[in-house]
Chain A
Amino acid sequence: MVNVMTTTLDPRSVAVTVTDPELPMLTLDDLGVLRDVRTADDGTVVVEITPTYSGCPAMGTMRADLVHALHAAGFGDVDVRTVLSPPWSTDWITAEGRRKLREAGIAPPGPAPVRDAGPLPLSLGPTRRTASCPLCGSPDTEEISEFSATACKALRRCRACREPFEHVKEI
């Protein structure tokens, strides 16, 4: 199939509107998954995305959503490429992304752990993560489970308002 470009828009302005399949309140750009959008010499729109986790099952959907959105906006050939390096970090979630997470009742991540080249330390105690309740704002919260409905979230509970909530884990 030959796709002929019928638009003068900046392709980036379209790609940044595509949302994450699992956190649909965030765009791929908010999440830091959208790494680059450019137009190659032959007119192909080249989009680079990076997986959050190695096993992220949503990459195919993200790819399809990007291609579909760019075609619908009148762009011709679209090439969505995976970039693996550097690995995605929650530090790449934008301020706007963090605001949207909080609004959706999901606690945004704190700063990602710094990992140097040496042996990686064990942490045998309860995790030292902290997160304020996205519903009432109380900092008095506890972890229920380190894993939740998606790989990127933990399950917590607020001791003040008693509501459970999800927390995007620092990685």
Chain B
Amino acid sequence: MVHEETAYESLVHAHGDEGHWVFGTGFDDPLAGVDTSVPPGVDRADLGAYCLMLGDDALVLSQRLTEWITRAPELEEEVAIGNIALDLLGQARLLLARAGSVGELGRSRSLATGSVPDEDALAYFRDADEFRCTPLVEEPDGDFAHAMVRLLVASSFRLAVLARLRGSRDPVVAAIAAKGVNELTYHRDHAARWVLRLGDGTDESHRRAQRAVDAIWPLTAQLFTATGVERRLVAAGVAVDPSSVRDEVRRVLAEVLARGTLTAPPEPPDAEPAGRSGEHGPALTELLSTLQGLARRHPASTW
């Protein structure tokens, strides 16, 4: 058999002279060959919006995690964070590609050039008001304790949702969820062990971990409130009502906090899920300027 000299050459071979979409993901449609038809009785716009909610949570958290590369407390932790961020980015790619496959592209498609795949158009050419992520994943990390407490809360929620989505009537969402569950299980374990270690560590690490818990708890106010899209898709057998995972998530968090000698603040009152309809603070805009700057400045760049 014939081997290419490098992975780059094999990609050139696969794509002829088309060049490469600068952001490095144009290699491959992550849903190439997957049957993307929509089950009967499922609204395409709702399915697309739901995939953006799930995908944007993963994309934005992945970007926040990668900010730790070169800044993590140990080399092994950089590798761990890089791996976790890559898993989440993979989940985001699949979910954004699923959204694109049902036509959920918003303004992004008109801004991105034709050669940009749908998933990249969605990631790089939507403004903050078109992102459907929850505030929990948006805030910058002040310190490493904040990063690990946030990862614990976000992965506990996402794992509980995706575990249920394995039974979704949309076979693509069900398959993405089944893969994601295997990954999120060790993301959550990794974060939980750090929260334990920091909480039950030195006075300083305990103080920082408790400060992170106190800062992050209010960010969960929107987490368990269903949107109209979710309620309709729950009725269609496609989505999970986030309020149905509340008890499970709270139990997991209570167990980790107790073992880490940390105190759970009072639960914030449920708030309208404004993030899911595009209302975000300045932190997301700042994050997107980093994530999207190159793509927008040089929209047709290739390498």
Are A147 and B192 also in contact (CB < 8 A) when A61-B11, A64-B11, A87-B182 are?
A: no
The complex places the Cα of A151 from the Cα of B84 at a distance, in Å, of: 8
Are A64 and B10 also in contact (CB < 8 A) when A84-B94, A85-B174, A144-B76 are?
A: yes
Interface residues of A in 49-67 (CB under 8 A from B): 51, 53-57, 59-61, 63-65, 67
On chain B, the residues within 8 Å of A124 by CB distance are: 189, 192-193, 196, 255-256, 259
Q: How large is the interface on B (under 10, 10 to 19, 20 to 34, 35 or more residues)?
A: 35 or more
Are A84 and B11 also in contact (CB < 8 A) when A119-B163, A151-B86 are?
A: no
On chain A, the residues within 8 Å of B196 by CB distance are: 124
Partner pick for B13 among A64, A85, A120, CB 8 A cutoff = A64
On chain A, the residues within 8 Å of B91 by CB distance are: 54-55
Contact A82 B186 (CB under 8 A): no
Interface residues of B in 48-98 (CB under 8 A from A): 76, 79-80, 82-84, 86-91, 93-94
Partner pick for B178 among A51, A53, A87, A146, CB 8 A cutoff = A87
On chain B, the residues within 8 Å of A61 by CB distance are: 7, 10-11, 27
Tell me if B14 is interfacial: C-beta within 8 Å of chain A: yes
The complex places the Cα of A64 from the Cα of B289 at a distance, in Å, of: 33
Partner pick for A86 among B2, B176, B178, CB 8 A cutoff = B178
Segment at the A interface, from B28-36, B126-134, B207-215, B269-277? B28-36
Partner pick for A63 among B1, B32, B163, B193, CB 8 A cutoff = B32
Are A155 and B76 also in contact (CB < 8 A) when A79-B33, A87-B182, A123-B189 are?
A: yes
How many Å from the CB of A25 to the closest CB on chain B?
A: 14
Interface residues of B in 1-51 (CB under 8 A from A): 1-4, 7, 10-11, 13-14, 27-28, 30-34
The complex places the Cα of A116 from the Cα of B169 at a distance, in Å, of: 19
Partner pick for B90 among A56, A72, A86, A146, CB 8 A cutoff = A56
Are A60 and B14 also in contact (CB < 8 A) when A21-B7, A85-B175, A122-B188 are?
A: yes
On chain B, the residues within 8 Å of A21 by CB distance are: 7
Contact B83 A147 (CB under 8 A): yes
How many Å from the CB of A147 to the closest CB on chain B?
A: 4
Tell me if A38 is interfacial: C-beta within 8 Å of chain B: no
| Interface of B: prevailing SS | helix
The complex places the Cα of A124 from the Cα of B200 at a distance, in Å, of: 13
Q: How many A-B contacts if CB must be within 8 Å?
A: 143
Tell me if B218 is interfacial: C-beta within 8 Å of chain A: no
Using a CB–CB distance below 8 Å, which chain B residues touch chain A? 1-4, 7, 10-11, 13-14, 27-28, 30-34, 76, 79-80, 82-84, 86-91, 93-94, 159-160, 163, 166-167, 171-172, 174-176, 178-183, 185-186, 188-190, 192-193, 196, 248, 252, 255-256, 259
Using a CB–CB distance below 8 Å, which chain A residues touch chain B? 14, 17-18, 21, 48, 51, 53-57, 59-61, 63-65, 67-69, 72-73, 79-88, 115, 117, 119-120, 122-124, 127, 144-149, 151, 155, 171
Q: A61-B27, A146-B190, A151-B83 are in contact. List 7 more A-B contacts (CB 8 A).
A: A48-B33, A64-B13, A68-B14, A69-B1, A85-B174, A117-B167, A147-B83
**Could you jot down 13 A-B contacts, CB within 8 Å?**
A14-B1, A59-B30, A81-B33, A84-B94, A84-B176, A87-B182, A117-B163, A122-B252, A123-B189, A124-B189, A145-B79, A147-B84, A151-B87
